[in-house]
Amino acid sequence: MLENIISFSLATIVLALSPGPDNIYVLSQSIANGTKSGLATTSGLVAGCILHTTLLAFGLSAIITASPTIFYGIKVFGAAYLLYLAFKVYRSDSKISLTSKVSKKSHQKLFKQGVIMNILNPKVMIFFLAFFPGFLWDKDGNTVMQFYVLGGVFMLVSFIVFGLIALLAGKISTYLKSHKAVGPTLKWLQIVVFIGIAVYILIP
């Protein structure tokens, strides 16, 4: 159990640090409107994960109980999706852009926007479906509880990483502008993590 959670946490840390729409938006909000705005956005994004975790826990747990074969098929799909994400990252531009315009909103509105951004993004649910099953530590045990534990770890780690991005936004922005090699490094790190998780999921 502990080994699975540690591996899951490390993978989540790398993915949370990898440039993407969510952490770039948190960084942009923090730079433009202050740390509290970044933290409000972070809280909303993380809160939205509760719904995805619940749907995943009860939906997949029923499938695991009904058919181990179907569950293995889902794991294969998950590995294939992660390899597809690795390919997309490989084809993408490694430059990290912080030039998007950010409007001033209340903290409450930013929280709501974060929740909505997360809940209405089908890619989040697909990613959860691909990412979580490979880290279950007891397929014959209480899988609902295990999914909630993984979901809780994912939300906690993401909040800490995104929160640090909000707190250190100014320094991060300055560093990114003066160190152009950061983008390519994070790009290849993300590719390695996606491929590594895909392989890990398929190992019996």
CA–CA dist 164, 166 (Å, integer): 5
Structure tokens at 150: 């993984």
Q: What is the pLDDT of residues 57-91, one digit of tens each?
A: 998 888 887 888 888 888 898 899 999 989 988 88
Structure tokens at 159: 């909040």
Average pLDDT, the chain: 87
- Residue 61: what pLDDT? 82
Q: Which are the contacts of 128, defined by CB distance < 8 A and separation ≥ 6?
A: 49, 52, 53, 56
- Residue 160: what pLDDT? 96
Q: Where are the domains of the chain?
A: 2-94+104-202
H, E, C per residue of 16-58: HHCCCHHHHHHHHHHHHHCHHHHHHHHHHHHHHHHHHHHHHHH
Q: What is the pLDDT of residues 156-165, one digit of tens each?
A: 999 999 999 9
Structure tokens at 199: 């392989």
Q: Is the pLDDT of residue 191 over 80?
A: yes
Closest to 177 (Cα-Cα) out of 107, 122, 99, 110: 99
Residue 204 — pLDDT band, cuts 50, 70, 90? low
Q: What is the pLDDT of residues 92-151, one digit of tens each?
A: 877 766 655 566 788 999 999 999 988 988 888 888 988 898 898 987 889 999 999 999
